[in-house]
């Protein structure tokens, strides 16, 4: 069965209220549509851990800066519903697809500004992005009244930002991060992969390849930040690629460890990142997160691994 589509918050509230009255647990998978197997794995996890699952589909304008791909972002509601039908055997999936007017009514003027984890990395290159994400995600939490929400590790920094505001604002919801889903050749699944030409798609494999190589080096004992970064850079470099960042950071703070005794390493993008003015240690300890953002032709891709958890 195709899932039931709800577009109004008031109607969704009624449905969720009646589920909660029956003591049923509601999971939320927030998406911007253009669903792929990565999203489906979140839906499957939610179906395992909850009685009903709401998949929200909303291309959120406030998380795109002018000049980004808001207009061209794929909107594929019919095929999204067909894909969801394949996992809706128990008819316990709802799709919440609000209109822009429902989400941002006239005179809307309140935003969620998260500090800490929203500042480095994506925060440097897309300074208004997490304000838009945090605002829409908090609205989705309130609109759906879900008990638990599922996010993919591919957007590792996004998950840390969401965890931060959930903690800071006492939002009554549990946040679960699920592993990155990859194509057979290693490319992290993303709605933006469809922008890649066959040639760029092939070159895009350098992201996952460089992360696997870094993981091997770390497992062999390397803890030298400069060595790992140089090895990754060598794999990513190509005349048609622009590396926005290669970050070797603490998974909780998303910052590099600070040097002890004035023994410093490369300060990287120090002017922009929060607290990055501190001296960076030339070595790192485990667990460590390595995050990449690379433009492959015109498509900006992100990927990451966490080693030593
Ligand atoms: O990860 C996404 O697809 C979006 O950032 C989200 C969480 C649905 C908010 O618009």
pLDDT digits (tens, 9 = 90+) for 106-144: 999 999 999 999 999 999 999 999 999 999 999 999 999
The one catalytic residue among 17, 39, 238, 241: 39
The lowest-confidence range among 18-22, 42-46, 254-258 is 254-258
Taking alpha carbons only, the member of 247, 241, 252, 255 closest to residue 299 is: 241
Give the model's pLDDT for residue 264. Answer: 52
Give the model's pLDDT for residue 266. Answer: 42
CA of 31 to the centre of ligand 1 (A): 5
Residue 262 has pLDDT above 80, yes or no: no
Q: Point out which residues pair with 31 in neighbouring strands.
A: 57
Whether the bond between 287 and the residue before it is cis, its omega within 30 degrees of 0, is yes
204: which residues sit within 8 A by CB, 6+ positions away?
187, 193, 196, 296, 299, 301
Q: Binning pLDDT at 50, 70 and 90, where does residue 260 land?
A: confident
Convert the pLDDT of each residue in 187-228 to its tens digit. 999 999 999 999 999 999 999 999 999 999 999 999 999 999
Check if 39 is active-site: yes
Residue 56 has pLDDT above 80, yes or no: yes
Q: Is 32 in the pocket of ligand 1 (CB under 6 A)?
A: yes
Residue 271 has pLDDT above 70, yes or no: no
- Asked if 154 contacts 187 with a C-beta cutoff of 8 angstroms, the reply is no
Residue 272 has pLDDT above 50, yes or no: no
Q: Is 30 in the pocket of ligand 1 (CB under 6 A)?
A: yes
Give the model's pLDDT for residue 265. Answer: 45
Residue 18 has pLDDT above 70, yes or no: yes
Mean pLDDT for all residues in the chain: 95
Q: Is 53 in the pocket of ligand 1 (CB under 6 A)?
A: no
What value does the mean pLDDT take over residues 235-248?
98
């Amino acid at each position: 069965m195709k899932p039931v589509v709800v577009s109004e918050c008031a109607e969704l509230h009624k449905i969720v209220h009646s589920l909660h009255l029956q003591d049923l647990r509601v999971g939320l998978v927030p998406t911007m549509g253009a669903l792929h197997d990565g999203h489906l794995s979140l839906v499957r996890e939610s179906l395992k851990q909850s009685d009903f699952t709401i998949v929200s589909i909303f291309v959120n304008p406030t998380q795109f800066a002018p000049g980004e791909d808001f207009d061209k972002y794929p909107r594929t509601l019919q095929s999204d519903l067909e894909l969801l039908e394949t996992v809706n055997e128990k008819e316990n999936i709802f799709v919440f697809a609000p209109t822009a007017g429902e989400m941002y009514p006239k005179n809307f003027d309140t935003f969620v500004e998260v500090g800490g984890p929203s500042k480095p990395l994506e925060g440097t290159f897309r300074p208004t992005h997490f304000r838009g994400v945090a605002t829409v995600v908090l609205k989705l939490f309130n609109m759906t009244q879900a008990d638990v929400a599922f996010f993919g590790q591919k957007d590792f920094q996004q998950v840390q930002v969401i965890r931060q505001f959930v903690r800071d604002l006492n939002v009554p919801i549990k946040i679960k991060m699920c592993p990155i889903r990859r194509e057979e050749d290693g490319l992290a699944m993303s709605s933006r992969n469809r922008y890649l030409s066959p040639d760029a798609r092939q070159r895009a494999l350098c992201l996952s390849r460089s992360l696997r190589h870094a993981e091997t080096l770390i497992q062999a004992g390397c803890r030298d930040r400069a060595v790992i970064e140089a090895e990754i850079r060598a794999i990513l470099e190509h005349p048609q690629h622009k590396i926005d960042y290669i970050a070797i950071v603490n998974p909780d703070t998303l910052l590099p460890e600070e040097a002890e005794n004035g023994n410093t390493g490369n300060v990287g993008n120090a002017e922009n990142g929060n607290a990055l003015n501190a001296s960076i240690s030339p070595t790192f300890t485990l667990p460590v997160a390595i995050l990449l953002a690379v433009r492959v032709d015109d498509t900006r891709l992100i990927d990451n691994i966490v080693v030593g958890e």
